[in-house]
Structure 1
Amino acid sequence: MRLLGCVLLSMVLTACWGGKGREEPKMDMQQAGERAEEILDGTVAAIQPPVKWERDNPSQLACDNGLNRPIGATSVYRGRTILTVVSARRRGELLEMVRRYWKQQGFGDFEIDSDSHMPQIRATSADGLVAILDVGDIGNVFLTAGFSCAKDSEMTYPRDTPGVSGSSVETDGLPRKYSAHWSETAPH
């Protein structure tokens, strides 16, 4: 399910580059990664009471001209996995808290899926950053932020980023931490 979400996000992020009227990227991959990290760090800090979280594997996908020919730009996204168990009763509160923070940060074009089992919120900032919070089928919560196409460049990552060269951090994305507020009840 998580892989399907990543594939769909990549398709959404690259979709704006096909066809006429495409714009040149406003930033390079390093700047895009830093901007995504900034909004993700701010988002998890805005969740109160605090939740435990970890970085998710970053991803990038080459943008093309619609004929599978690279154009010198790449979609870039970063993610966070919430490790705190968020009960079904608290999911709406979490989504609203994140929506308010993103709105304060200048995001608009909100799309909210209020599905009771797997809700999602998606928003876009003025500079083109797409941010998504989605709840997986077992209640796992993911935050993703990225740009559809950024100019190709070298990229660096925060030290504790899984899935990048030189990192020993591994993640499975399963919520295992309990909170009196978010989880409602801890396991016996």
Structure 2
Amino acid sequence: MYQTLCSESNVSEIIRSLPDEQIRHLTHVKNYVDIITELIVRAGAYPEIKRLGEYKCFGKAAYYHDIGKAWVPVEILSKPDRLTAEEMSLMRKHPLFAEELFKLIRNGSVSGIPSELMQLAHDSAVYHHEWWNGDGYPYGIKCERIPLIARITSVCDVYDAITGDRSYRRARSHEYACREIEANAGTQFDPGLAKLFLDNEFQFLVN
């Protein structure tokens, strides 16, 4: 599998290898991350975001959050039925595939991600399936050990996954997605970010 990571020399080519549905998802998540990041800054929440001095790059970096799915077979990504246990196991490896890709980017084998986005894009791609309570993957880290950009990406990723059409189901409503985020605040999601999202939920009706 990892040998194929060298078959494309540019990140743009890798993104283009994804199904159209997945590329739309990347764009939507980028937009949502931009919105919630701006809300954080305006609210004066999460002081570390200003210390990072990179918050204006969060959306651009989060665009790459699912780039590891380029090494999940298209027939799995676009399967119209429930995934088997084996298929789900492979799907859940996409953050690890992303981590291997970023190693190649850092050693110069693959180009296309600006240096100012590198660490943020890595953290979004590798850690956005980690859960606040430690039950996520691939590493089972929790709370503030999860990079802030990944915690933001997690909320936005789930919102778009619920409200967008998928090969295996039709889109669900904005209201349904908000109730899911509310129900999973403090377990899957950073509770502060979930509250900020829900307090400003109608700003996310943009896509």
Tell me the TM-score normalized by structure 2. 0.29
Structure with higher strand content: 1
Tell me the TM-score normalized by structure 1. 0.31
Q: Of the two structures, which has the highest relative contact order with CA contacts closer than 8 Å and spacing of 6 or more?
A: 1
Structure with higher helix content: 2
